[in-house]
Amino acid sequence: MISKSRWKLLAMLALVLVVMVWYSISREDRYMELFYFPIPEKREPCLQGEAERKASKLFGLIPFSSPPYQPIFLQLKDYFWVKTPSAYELPYGTKGSEDVLLRVLAITSHSVPESIQSLKCRRCVVVGNGHRLRNSSLGDAINKYDVVIRLNNAPVAGYEGDVGSKTTMRLFYPESANFDPKVENDPDTLLVLVAFKAMDFHWIETILSDKKRVRKGFWKQPPLIWEVNPKQIRILNPFFMEIAADKLLSLPMQQPRKIKQKPTTGLLAITLALHLCDLVHIAGFGYPDAHNKKQTIHYYEHITLKSMAGSGHNVSQEALAIRRMLEIGAIKNLTCF
Ligand X SMILES: *[C@@H]1O[C@H](CO)[C@@H](O)[C@H](O)[C@H]1NC(C)=O
Q: How far is CA 194 from CA 188, 191, 237, 266, in A?
A: 18, 10, 8, 11
Instruction: State which residue, 238 or 286, has the beta carbon closest to ligand X.
Output: 286
Q: From edge to edge, which strands make up the β-sheet containing 190-193? A: 233-235, 190-193, 169-172, 147-151, 123-127, 279-283, 332-333
How far is the CA of 150 from the CAs of 188, 195, 310, in angstroms?
A: 14, 16, 23
Residue 316 binding ligand X, by CB under 6 A: yes
Cα-Cα-Cα-Cα dihedral sign, residues 26, 31, 36, 42: positive
Write down the least CB distance from residue 148 to ligand X, Å. Answer: 18
149-168 residues in contact with ligand X (CB under 6 A) are none
**Which one, of 298, 311, 324, lies nearest residue 128 by Cα?**
298
Total number of residues that touch ligand X (CB under 6 A): 9
- Contact flag: residue 208 with ligand X (CB under 6 A): no
Cβ 8 to ligand X, closest distance in Å? 56
Range in contact with ligand X (rule: CB under 6 A) among 13-21, 47-55, 105-113, 314-322: 314-322
Nearer to ligand X, 226 or 299 (CB): 299
Per CB under 6 A, the segment of 118-126, 209-217, 269-277, 309-317 that binds ligand X is 309-317
Site string for ligand X, 84-123 (x = CB under 6 A): ----------------------------------------
Please tell me the distance from the alpha carbon of residue 204 to that of residue 148, in angstroms, as a whole number: 23
Who's near 218: CB < 8 A, 6+ residues apart? 174, 175, 199, 203
CB neighbours (10 Å) of residue 279?
A: 23
Pick from 17, 135, 170, 257 the residue near ligand X by CB under 6 A: 135
134 binds ligand X (CB under 6 A): yes
User: Footprint of ligand X on this chain (CB under 6 A)?
Assistant: 134-135, 314, 316-317, 326, 333, 336-337
